[in-house]
A and B are shown apart, each in its own frame.
Chain A
Amino acid sequence: MALLQRVAEQGRRVVRFTLDGRPAEALEGDTILTAMLTNGDQLRRSEFADSPRAGFCLMGACQDCWVRTEEGERLRACGTFIAEGLRLVSASEWAAEAASGESAS
């Protein structure tokens, strides 16, 4: 199930959010990537390969970790902290239009 394993710093305050419609828990100071991958094993699906993706660099270089909220907002999961009540989707596909709209290239 979970891709990431917590091995330290587990005394932090619990933050509740929703992952694919189900309630889930993270800890204060988790990135969205940590929150999602300690509760599951993917962040999104690639529009090209129809394959799951779970980020790669964790430092804002690869851009593989963009996720969607239920409201359609896009967030870079490794660079955005989890917040109470966020409603995240792990199965969303990246539409080509979204990619070009975003990088304007």
Chain B
Amino acid sequence: MTAPFQSSVIQPGAIQPVIVGAGPAGVRAAERLVAAGLRPLMIDEAARGGGQIYRQPPDGGFTRSKAALYGFEAAKADALHRTLDGLRDRVDHRPRTLVWNCEESALDLLCDGRTETVPFTHLILATGATDRVLPFPGWTLPGVFTLGGSQVALKFQGCTVGKRVAFLGTGPLLYLVAYQYLKAGVEVAGVFDTTPLPVQARALSGMLRDPVTLAKGLWYVGWLRAHGVPIHNGARPVRVEGDGRVSALVWRDAGQAGGREMRVDCDAVAYGLGLRSETQLADLAGCRFRFDAMDRAWLPERDAAGRSSVAGVYVAGDGGGVAGADAAELAGERAALALLEDAGLPFDAGRATALDRRLSRVAAFRRALSAAFPFPADWADSIADDTMICRCEGVAAGTLRAVAVNSQAREINRAKALTRLGMGRCQGRMCAAAATELLARALGTGPDGVGRLRAQPPIKPLPVSATPRFEAAAS
């Protein structure tokens, strides 16, 4: 059980830092603030800390070792979990708690069906990232899961999403999760990487900046090949087939003039095209955004230390741009140092400089990663009008194209108002990338030319019984 807050009113002059996210970034930020004598509140929707990569199995008799759960990353996972345990009495950690709204100096929370408002003087957003996807026919069939979700099933539940799984998309997770599935004893029907081989080969030289990551990646690929798993580069998804659940993936190979259509039998598809940052709270906090060409997305502006455009609000880790777990740890600590400095508290300037130096190398690593696993920018051309883009509201590609062509919608929020796309329960997390690409293509502009889908509270659905304050404000 978590103790109630001592007080929901902050004394004048007092500092109440709140961290959203108990992943690598959030935990390292908390550690730094505690070392400076502060008592941060750290909120996470998950039942236990660790974030996405170092997610811990639930309580209740799970016995796999960290080596089994985290592979090459076991030592780092263990170090982060130990830090979290060590902070137990000095941080107000609120697990199973959703932050669903952010206003000037307060957050709205939901825990066990009850809402609560907590004030902050300083806010570190360490909200991480989830899979980025682009729709294609059949993507809503039972048995199609995101790559990250397929890994969550294994890591968090000891389950695989099928007996014979096809891995589709691009990004480091594609090979990692395929490898983990093969090791777990299920059949891998193939790895279907949307990145053409020559592109990936060229990008490898950039990855030499981070030889350890490169070596791990090559290890997974080598292991898959050695176990007879076919790896297809330059593949394009055509459709998932099945009556009520997945029975096959139809894809196109990288041949000239669009290649041949091929079919592979499988009972599940694990699909993802890299990650997308979780930025809704930064939006509601009033942070300024800029279009990031590398992530092909709008991201909150931040300086090298993680300061957003709003005083007292910091963005750290994958939630401000996808850079992986090691970078998230550095960025979380760096943001905490910036907070201390801005609050006029003593802070270790030498450490800040050292972190700045290490973080400056992350930018080069990000470039190398996005070159090795590029976003399939030709997707919008290949998608038929009847493909469902929005899985919440059932909006098809053609509906979106029509409002663009009729010039009623030259901007994504207008398109949302006209089509309901992005208005559903996921708030555009699953469809915003696709809608942006489609709209941009229909209007003859780039993905930076159609605006940014704005966040709205509650950023995730609340039970009807738990919305009094919000409904009062909305009506």
Could you list which residues of chain A lie within 8 angstroms of chain B, going by C-beta atoms?
3-13, 27-31, 34, 38, 41-42, 46-49, 51-64, 66, 74, 76, 79, 81, 99, 101-105
Q: Are B470 and A104 touching (Cβ within 8 A)?
A: yes
Is B186 part of the binding interface, using a Cβ–Cβ cutoff of 8 Å?
yes
Q: Which of A3, A10, A12 has the most CB of B within 10 A?
A: A3
Q: B184 at the A/B interface (Cβ < 8 Å)?
A: yes
B471, A6: Cβ atoms under 8 Å? Answer: no
Tell me, yes or no, whether B426 is within 8 Å of chain A by CB.
yes
A58, B145: Cβ atoms under 8 Å?
A: yes
CA distance A8 to B156 in the complex (A): 10
Chain A residues within an 8 Å CB radius of B81? none
Q: Residue on A with the closest CB to B245?
A: A41
Report chain B residues within 8 Å CB of A49.
140, 388, 394
User: What is the CA–CA distance of A92 and B108 in the complex, to the nearest angstrom?
Assistant: 30
Q: Given A56-B430, A61-B429, A62-B429, verify A102-B59 contact (CB < 8 Å).
A: no
CB pair B245–A52 under 8 Å, yes or no, is yes
Asked whether any CB of chain A lies closer than 8 Å to the CB of B461, the reply is yes
Flag if A61 contacts B474 (CB, 8 Å): no
User: Cβ of A46 and Cβ of B461 under 8 Å apart?
Assistant: no
- In the complex, what distance in Å separates the CA atom of A59 from the CA atom of B244? 23
A62 touches B426 (CB 8 A): yes
Contact A9 B162 (CB under 8 A): no
Q: Which 3 A-B pairs have the closest CB atoms?
A: A48-B394, A29-B60, A9-B158
Of the candidates B185, B460, B474, the one whose C-beta lies within 8 Å of that of A60 is B460
User: What are 21 residue pairs bridging A and B, where the CB atoms are less than 8 Å apart in the complex?
Assistant: A3-B143, A3-B268, A5-B186, A7-B185, A8-B158, A9-B63, A9-B157, A31-B157, A38-B159, A41-B142, A46-B391, A49-B140, A49-B388, A52-B245, A55-B149, A58-B156, A61-B130, A62-B146, A66-B425, A103-B427, A104-B470
Interface residues in chain B, defined as those with a beta carbon under 8 Å from any beta carbon in chain A: 45, 47, 52, 57-64, 68, 130-131, 140-146, 148-150, 152-154, 156-163, 184-186, 244-245, 268, 278, 388, 391-394, 423-427, 429-430, 456, 458, 460-464, 467, 470-471, 474
Q: Return the chain A residue nearest B148 by Cβ.
A: A59
Given A55-B149, A56-B146; A29-B62 close (CB under 8 Å): yes
Cα-based distance from A55 to B462 in the complex (angstroms)? 18
Q: Is the CB of A79 within 8 A of B45?
A: yes
* B148–A102 CB distance below 8 A: no
Contact between A7 and B186 (Cβ–Cβ < 8 Å)?
yes
Cβ of A63 and Cβ of B426 under 8 Å apart?
Answer: yes
Is the pair B244, A41 in contact by a Cβ cutoff of 8 Å? Answer: yes
Closest A residue, CB atoms, query B471: A104
A34-B153, A52-B245, A57-B149 known; A3 and B142 CB under 8 Å?
Answer: yes
CB-based nearest B residue for A49? B394
Check A3/B161 contact, CB under 8 A, given A12-B61, A56-B144, A74-B463. Answer: yes
